[in-house]
Structure 1
Amino acid sequence: MADPEKNGVDQIEAVPVDTGITRFEIDGDGLPPGYFRSAYFIGSMAAICLGFFGGVGGFALAAPILSAINEDIGPDPNIVWVALSFTLTSAVCITIVGRVSDIFGRRWVFIGGAICGVVGSIVCATAKDVTSLIAGTAIIGIAASTQLSYFYVMGELVPMKHRFAANSMVYFFQIPANALAPVISDSFIIYHPTVGWRGSYYLLVVVDSLALICWVLFYHPPTFHMKHRNESLLKYIKNFDYIGTTMYTGGLLILLMGLNWGGVSWPWSSARVIATIVVGFVTLVIFVLWETYMNLTEPLVPMVVFRNIPWNAATVLSGLGASIYYAFAIVWPQMVGTMYADTTSPIATAWLSSVSGLGWVFGVISGGLVARRVTHIKWQCVLAISLGGLFFGLVATCNPDTRSRACAFVAIGSCFVGWTESLAITAVTVTAYDQSELGSSGGVAGSIRYLITSIATTVYTVTLTNRQAQEIPPRVTSAVEAAGLPPSSVAAFIKALSGGASALDKVPGVTPRILAAGTRAYQEGNSSAFRTVFLSTIAFTGVALISALFLPDLEALMSNKVATTLGTEKASDSETESPRQ
C-alpha cells in the first residue's frame, strides 16, 4: 500500500495492506444475474433497515416521555440514567463490534445484537421500576452498537458508487423511529392509556424480532473460516487485544459519564465530575500509546486509520453534523415546551417537537439520493453545512411571537445538516484504506461521533442552563411584582413555573393578571437563553466547514466495486471466490 500519511485519492485507492484476510471484493459487473434481487440480498437489506429502526427507536421513542414513565413506575431521581445507559453502552461497544466482526465475521455478531434488542425491549416493556428500565435500556444500547453500524454493513454490500443512495434509503426507517418519535410516544399515552408508555417498547419488540428473523434467514457474509481459511480460531482469540479493549472501554465509559454528569447530576466543579473526566481522558491517552507502540498482532484500533486525512475529515464532519442535530433534538423540544406549547392539544405540541427530526430525515434522504446526480460531493458538504449553520443561527432572531419563523428555520437548518451528515457518514466508508475491514474504521468513527456529540450536547445544555439562570429570575421577579404579586410569593412563583398551571394556581396571591405577566416574562427569559444557544452553533459550524474542506474528490472513488459479497455459510474455498448464486 502507498504511504498512508500522504493525503489524496491515489493513496486511498492503492492496494490495501495485506492483513492475511481473504478478500471478497468483486466488480459489480461480475455478480450473477439477479444478485441484487435475490432473497438473501433483499432480506439482508431488510435486516439492516429494521435493525436501524430498533437502534434509533430504543432511545428516541423513550426520551420524550421519561417524565410520564417516572410518574408511573417512579418517582426515581435515577430516571436520567435511562437515556445515559443507552449512550454509554452503544458508544463503547460500537468500536468493539466493528473490530470483532472484522476478525471473526459479522453474521453471529449482528444476530447477537438483534437478540439483545429483543431482550432489552421486553425487559423495558415489562419493567416495574426505574432500575429495571435502566437495565433494559443498557441491553438495548448494546444492541444499538450493531444496529447503528448500518452504514458500513450496508455500504460493503453494494457497489461503492451506490453507497450514498443505499445508506440514505435506510433513513426512511428513521421517520417513525426518530422524526415522529414524540408523536408516536405521546399517542400511546394520550389515545391508548391502557397501554401507555409501554406501547413504544411493544413496538420495538415487534421490530427487533422481525430484524432478528431477517438476520438469521438471509444474512450470510463471509464467516471466520472463509476469511482466514485454515487459520485457527483459537489463535485469533488468544491474540485479541484484551488489555487495549479494557482500557478503551473503561476510559471512554468514564469520560462520557463525566461529561453527562456535569451540570446535571453534580456541579462541574465537583470532585466526582472532574475526577471522571480526567481519569477517562488519561486512560484513553494511555490506550492510544498502547495501540501505537506495542507490537500487537490484533490491535483493537489499528492506528493507521488516523493517518488517513480524508477519513479523519469525514469522521469529524459526521460527528459535528450529528452533534448539531442531536443537541437540538434535545434543545428544540424544550424551546417548544417553554415558548410555543399548545395548551389545548398535547399532540399538537408533539408535532411541533418533531419539526427538527422531520427536517433532518428529509435532508439525509435527499442528500444521499441526489449526491451522485449533482456531483461535487465535497462542495455539497461545504455548502450544506454552511447553510445549516446559517439557518440555526437565524433561530436566534426568534421570540415567543414568531413560532412559524422558528419552526421554518429549525426545519431548514436540520435539513441542510442532515444532508451533510448523509454524505459524511458514507464518506467515512468510502475513504477507508482497507475496504475489507470497514468494521474497524467504521466502528472507531462511530465512537468518535458519539464523543463529539456528547461534548456538543454538554456545551449546549450548560449554555442553556446558565443563561436561563441569568435571564429568567430577574425578568419574572420584575414582571410579577409590577403586576401585584406579594414579594413573599415571588420565589414560590418562579419555582412553580416549571410545574405548569396547576402548580402556579397554588402560589399565594396569584391572579390571572399576575399569571399572564409572569408567564410572558418566563417566555422572554427563555427566548434570550435559547438565543445564546443557537448563536453558539456558529463555532461548531466553523469547525465542520474546515473539516469539509479536507475531503478529497469523492467522485473519483465511486467505482463499481462491491467490498463484500454474500456467500453460503458452509462454502468451500472455491465458493468463497463468488457470491451466493
Structure 2
Amino acid sequence: MARITTTNGEDTSAHLTGLPLVLTMFALCAGIFCVALDITIISTAIPRITDEFHALQDIGWYGSAYLLTTCALQLPFGKIYGFFNPKWTFLASLFVFEVGSAVCGAAPSSAALIIGRAIQGIGGAGVPCGAMVIIAHITPMQKRALFQSFFGAMFGIASVVGPLLGGAFTDHVTWRWCFYINLPIGAITAVLVLFHLHLHVDRSSTQKRTTFESIRSLDPIGLLLFFPAVICILLALQWGGTKYPWSSGRIIALLVVFSITLIAFVIVQAYMGDDATVPPCVALQRTMYSVSIFAFFLFSGFYLLIYFLPIYFQAIHAQSPSRSGVSSIPLILSNVVAIMISGIIITKTGIYVPLLYICVVLVSIACALMTLLETDTGTAKWVGYQILHGFGAGCALQIPQIAAQNVNSLQDVPTAVAITMFAQNFGPTIMLSAGNNILNQKLLTYISDLKISEIDAAAVVEAGATGIRSVVPEQYLGLVLEAYNKALRQTFYVALAMSCATAIGALTVEWRRIRGFENEDKAAEKGAEDEKVQNTGS
C-alpha cells in the first residue's frame, strides 16, 4: 500500500507504482466503465420498460433526466474536487451513482425510474472527472496520456457492450439488471480505491479561510445561476420542434431564461476571479479554450454517428437492434485502437498537437463519405467509413484533458478537467437533440413529398427504425426507404459540419510538449551549450 503526498505545486507528489498503481487503475477504469455502460445499456431495454410501465410518453425522459443532472453538475464538480480530497469526493460520487442505479433497478413506476436516472446523472458527472483528477495526483505528467487512454478505451468498449448486454438482460433475465449490474462493479471499485489509494493533499490555503470565505469560494451564486441556465437550454432543445413548436411560449420562455442566467453567470465568474466555478485565468488560457472548442465539436460529431448509424442499419438494412450494435463495432474498435496508439505516442514523444491535425483531416473525410451512404451501400464501404472515422477521432479523443492538465498547475487541474469534460458532454447533448429534430422533420417532409395516400408520414416517424416495415405497404417500401435514407443523410451532414469545425480549436492550440519533456529538452540544450563552451575554451 502506497502513501502519497501531493501539493499544489508541479510534479511534487509521490506517485503510485507497482501493484497499488495497477489496482487503483483497475478500480478507476471499472468506475468509468460503469458510468459509460449506463449511457448505452438502456437503449435496447427501453421498449420492454415502456411495455411494463405503459408510459410511452416518458421515453425521452429516460435519457434526458440523466443528461440534465450530468451537464448541470459537471462544472461544479471541478470546484468540489479542487476544494475537497479527490479520493473521498470520488467515492461519494460513486455512492450517489450506485444509489441511483438501485432506485432504477427497483423502480415500481416510470416516475421512479426517471428519478433514479436523475440521481445516476449526479454521480455520473463526478466519477469520470474524479478519475482524471486522481490520475493527475498519482502519475507523472509524462505518463499521464498512456494511463488516460485506458479511460477512453472504457467508453469505447462500453458503447459496444452496452446495447448487447442490455438486449441480453432484457431478453433472458429482466431489464432491471441493466441497472443492478452497476452495483457489484461499483462495490469492487469502492473497495479497491478505499484500501489502495491514499491521497494527502495540501489544503493549507483552504484551512486558513473562515467559514464565510470557504462558502464564498464554492461560488454558490454562480452555481445557482448555472443550474437553471443548463436545464433551460436542454429542455428547450429537447422539446423544441417535437413536443412544442419553436414559436411556443414555453420554448421562448426557456430560451429567455437561459440567456439571462447565462449572462448573469458570466458576470459573476468575472467578479469572483480565482474563486469562480470557471476562473477566467483558467478558461481564457489559449490552450484551454481551444481544446474545449475542439472537444465540443469532436464529441458532437462522434456521438452523432454512434447514435444515428445504428438507425441507418436498422431502418435501411432491416437489422435488429443487437445486430446494428455489431455493425457499429468497426467504429468503436478502430477508435479504441487509436486511443491506445495516441497514448503511447504522447508518452514516448511528449507531442500531441500533430495528432489534433490528423484527427481533423480523418474525421472530416470520413463524415463526408458517410453522407454518400445509400440504401444499397455495400458492407465494405460502411465498414471502411467507420474505421476511418473511429481511428481519426481516437487519435485526439483524450487530448483535451491532457492539454488542459499540461498548461495548468495541479491545484487548477480539477477545474480544467471539468471545463473540458463539460464541453465534450454538452456538445453531444445539444447536437443529438438537433440531429433528432432534423431527422424527424426531414422524414415528415420527404415522405409527405411522395404524395402516397396509403402512407401516413407521422405514423412512419412514430414507428421508429425497427417498425417502419410494419406501417408501410410492401409496394412502397423502396420509396420510403429512399426518403428515410435521405433524411438520415441530413444528420450526417451535421456530423460533417461538427467534424470540420474541430479545425477551429485544433489550429489555435499552443504548440507545447508535455512538461517533463520540455525540461529534458532544456537540460539537453544546456548540456550542449556547456560542451560547446568547453570545446571553444580548449
Deviation (angstroms), 1:557:
2.9
Matched, 1:141 2:99: no
Report the equivalent of 1:309.
Answer: 286
Deviation (angstroms), 1:358:
3.4
Q: Please, which of 106, 110, 114 is the counterpart of residue 86 of structure 2?
A: 106
Q: Please show how residues 472-491 of structure 1 align to structure 2 within 5 Å.
A: 472-475=447-450, 477-478=451-452, 487=453, 489-491=454-456
Q: Which moved more, 1:149-158 or 1:81-90?
A: 149-158
Judging changes above 3 Å, is the alpha-carbon distance between structure 1 residues 501 and 279 closer, same or farther for their aligned structure 2 residues? Answer: closer
Report the equivalent of 2:373.
Answer: 398
Contact 1:362–1:418 (Cα < 8 Å) also in 2: yes
Deviation (angstroms), 1:242:
1.3
Report the equivalent of 1:482.
Answer: none
Contact 1:56–1:148 (Cα < 8 Å) also in 2: no
Q: Please, which of 286, 289, 292 is the counterpart of residue 270 of structure 2?
A: 292
Residue type of the alignment partner of 2:88: W
SS of structure 2 residue aligned to 1:490? coil
Deviation (angstroms), 1:491:
3.2
Deviation (angstroms), 1:105:
2.1
Report the equivalent of 2:410.
Answer: 435
Contact 1:365–1:422 (Cα < 8 Å) also in 2: no
Residue type of the alignment partner of 2:134: V
Judging changes above 3 Å, is the alpha-carbon distance between structure 1 residues 86 and 492 closer, same or farther for their aligned structure 2 residues? Answer: closer
Deviation (angstroms), 1:493:
10
Contact 1:324–1:417 (Cα < 8 Å) also in 2: no
Q: Give the gaps of 5 or more residues in structure 1.
A: 1-20, 479-486, 508-513, 562-581
Q: Please, which of 113, 118, 128 is the counterpart of residue 108 of structure 2?
A: 128
Report the equivalent of 1:567.
Answer: none
Residue type of the alignment partner of 2:296: G
Report the equivalent of 1:185.
Answer: 166
When the two structures are superposed, what TM-score results if normalisation uses the length of structure 1? 0.81
Distance in structure 1 (CA, Å) of the matches to 2:307 and 2:464 = 19
Deviation (angstroms), 1:200:
1.7
Matched, 1:203 2:181: yes
Deviation (angstroms), 1:234:
6.8
Matched, 1:85 2:65: yes
Report the equivalent of 2:439.
Answer: 464
Distance in structure 2 (CA, Å) of the matches to 1:330 and 1:142 = 23
SS of structure 1 residue aligned to 2:375? coil
Judging changes above 3 Å, is the alpha-carbon distance between structure 1 residues 76 and 233 closer, same or farther for their aligned structure 2 residues? Answer: same
Report the equivalent of 2:525.
Answer: none
Matched, 1:45 2:25: yes
Residue identity over aligned pairs, in percent, reads 19
SS of structure 2 residue aligned to 1:421? coil
Deviation (angstroms), 1:473:
3.2
Matched, 1:283 2:261: yes
Q: Please show how residues 160-559 of structure 1 align to structure 2 within 5 Å.
A: 160-190=141-171, 192=172, 195-223=173-201, 225=203, 228=206, 235-237=213-215, 239-294=217-272, 298-342=275-319, 347-373=322-348, 376-404=351-379, 405-432=381-408, 434-475=409-450, 477-478=451-452, 487=453, 489-491=454-456, 495=460, 498=463, 515-555=473-513, 557-559=515-517
Contact 1:151–1:426 (Cα < 8 Å) also in 2: no
Judging changes above 3 Å, is the alpha-carbon distance between structure 1 residues 459 and 558 closer, same or farther for their aligned structure 2 residues? Answer: farther
Q: RCO greater where, 1 or 2, for CA within 8 Å and sep 6 or more?
A: 1
Report Cα offsets for 1:490-522 as digits up to 9, x if no partner. 3399649827898966x7xxxxxx833322222
Matched, 1:96 2:61: no
Contact 1:165–1:369 (Cα < 8 Å) also in 2: yes
Q: Which moved more, 1:145-154 or 1:199-208?
A: 145-154
Q: Give the gaps of 5 or more residues in structure 2.
A: 1-5, 520-538
Report the equivalent of 2:529.
Answer: none
Distance in structure 2 (CA, Å) of the matches to 1:199 and 1:441 = 35
Distance in structure 2 (CA, Å) of the matches to 1:450 and 1:501 = 28
When the two structures are superposed, what TM-score results if normalisation uses the length of structure 2? 0.87
Residue type of the alignment partner of 1:209: A
Contact 2:37–2:161 (Cα < 8 Å) also in 1: no
Deviation (angstroms), 1:64:
3.6
Matched, 1:23 2:1: no
Residue type of the alignment partner of 1:392: C
Judging changes above 3 Å, is the alpha-carbon distance between structure 1 residues 550 and 242 closer, same or farther for their aligned structure 2 residues? Answer: same
Distance in structure 1 (CA, Å) of the matches to 2:464 and 2:154 = 35
What is the aligned residue count?
A: 512
Report Cα offsets for 1:159-182 as digits up to 9, x if no partner. 111121111022333354222211
Residue type of the alignment partner of 2:25: M
Residue type of the alignment partner of 2:255: I
SS of structure 1 residue aligned to 2:396? helix
Residue type of the alignment partner of 2:266: V
SS of structure 1 residue aligned to 2:502? helix
Judging changes above 3 Å, is the alpha-carbon distance between structure 1 residues 469 and 101 closer, same or farther for their aligned structure 2 residues? Answer: same
Distance in structure 2 (CA, Å) of the matches to 1:418 and 1:101 = 27
Distance in structure 2 (CA, Å) of the matches to 1:502 and 1:272 = 32
Report the equivalent of 2:134.
Answer: 153
Contact 1:107–1:215 (Cα < 8 Å) also in 2: yes
Q: Which moved more, 1:282-291 or 1:460-469?
A: 460-469
Distance in structure 2 (CA, Å) of the matches to 1:123 and 1:498 = 30
Report Cα offsets for 1:150-209 as digits up to 9, x if no partner. 33432342111112111102233335422221111112223x1xx222222121122122
Distance in structure 2 (CA, Å) of the matches to 1:119 and 1:397 = 45
Report Cα offsets for 1:328-356 as digits up to 9, x if no partner. 2221121111112336xx53233124444
Residue type of the alignment partner of 1:451: F
Provide the aligned C-alpha RMSD in A. 2.9
